[in-house]
Structure 1
Amino acid sequence: MLVYEAGPITVRELEERDESSLVFWLSNPDVLQYYGGRDHPHDPALVREHFYVDDEETRCLIEYDGKPIGYIQFYPLDEEGLYHYGYEKAEAGSIAFGMDQFIGEPIYWNQGIGTKLVSSMVDYLVHHRQAERIVMDPQTWNERAIACYEKCGFRKVRMLEKHELHEGELRDCWIIEYRGKRHQSNSSEEPL
């Protein structure tokens, strides 16, 4: 099912036929360096286990000019989900989403496509899902991704030390968030 189109970028829900693309991308060490870790390549069984499960996440394939190039997922964050990211339980009153993504075709890196993708997903979540807050947790060393997210209006709000296991080591992550316009204008709340 189509989620949205934004120029040459199409985001649609994951289908069974996309399994081979995910296996290909998630067995590439260049991609795994940033998503999942090079010590964790995916075979078809692992792709099915991680990406074809029935839960609250909306898992999508990214196409650029009709060619599959990557993956994006978004999911509602309830009070417990926000608490996992280090938010106080009292902050859980807004409509919040988490988001993760990667471009699995390295020839599409460093062309501004990631910025267009993240901006268009933010636009979709704010205008079609009424998101007031969108949260991601990139590892602190991934400066290229963080720069992309900051271009799209995200800001760092807190560092979570030793938050994510990556290549055998617990890594620090930034909690970054985008606040929807309605939430920004009605809130005097400072970052965490």
Structure 2
Amino acid sequence: MFIQNGKLNVRKLEEKDKYLLAKWLSDPLVLEFYEGRDHPFDLDQVNKVFYAPEDDEVKCIVEYDGNEIGYIQFYLLNNEAKKEYGYLNEIIYGTDQFIGEVAYWNKGIGTLLVSTIVTFLIEQKKADRVVMDPQSRNTRAIKCYEKCGFKKVKILPNHELHEGKYQDCWLIEYRV
């Protein structure tokens, strides 16, 4: 395992995981906040988005109690993203994640996942901050992130195209 915390395991994405991603990213409940219900993924789309060799993200599958339940990626923010968000010369990582198995929602696993990855990024990658930009309407996710110590920094107006409409997002951060 790449990262482990009790029943939670995070491992690097493998070729066989494309079937899981296609399953999760064609579920309207998952797509409501991740990618959009008007944008379901098939295997071809999964291959293009998640298996592009030039990506800088570290892409991982989340397992809980031996079951594959979700996805997380983390990445070092580039200078352009730092400038957009108003940061300077710090080591800043971003993350994106979802629990694709709906039966595992509302059980504290998202909180465990986010807190575990934040600890990993700070201790192993020497991050000064960890940032995310959830849609402002995704209150369940924002509450999870706040439980993990993230604070709202600023609203990012019309930041993400989702289901044909630009959505406001929050820039949230965890500071060391």
Per the normalisation by structure 2, the TM-score is: 0.97
Q: How does 1:1-192 map to 2 (within 5 A)?
A: 2-54=1-53, 55-84=55-84, 86-87=85-86, 91-180=87-176
Gaps of 5+ in 1: 181-192
TM-superposed deviation, 1:133:
0.6
| Deviation per residue, 1:143-180 (Å, 9 max, x gap) | 00000000001000010100000000000000000011
Which amino acid is the alignment partner of residue 101 of structure 2? E
TM-superposed deviation, 1:79:
1.7
| Counterpart position of 1:188 | none
Alpha carbons 1:78, 1:92 under 8 Å: kept: no
Give secondary structure in 1 for the equivalent of 2:2.
strand
Give secondary structure in 1 for the equivalent of 2:134.
coil
TM-superposed deviation, 1:80:
1.0
Q: Which has the larger radius of gyration?
A: 1
| Deviation per residue, 1:21-61 (Å, 9 max, x gap) | 00000000010001110000000000000000122100000
Q: How many residues align?
A: 175
Q: For the residues of structure 2 that align with 1:59 and 1:92, how far apart are their CA atoms? A: 25
Give secondary structure in 1 for the equivalent of 2:81.
helix
Which amino acid is the alignment partner of residue 36 of structure 1? E
Q: For the residues of structure 2 that align with 1:165 and 1:50, how far apart are their CA atoms? A: 16
Give secondary structure in 2 for the equivalent of 1:144.
helix
Q: For the residues of structure 2 that align with 1:80 and 1:58, how far apart are their CA atoms? A: 19
**Identity over aligned pairs, percent:** 54
TM-superposed deviation, 1:92:
2.2
Q: For the residues of structure 1 that align with 2:142 and 2:56, how far apart are their CA atoms? A: 25
Alpha carbons 1:95, 1:130 under 8 Å: kept: yes
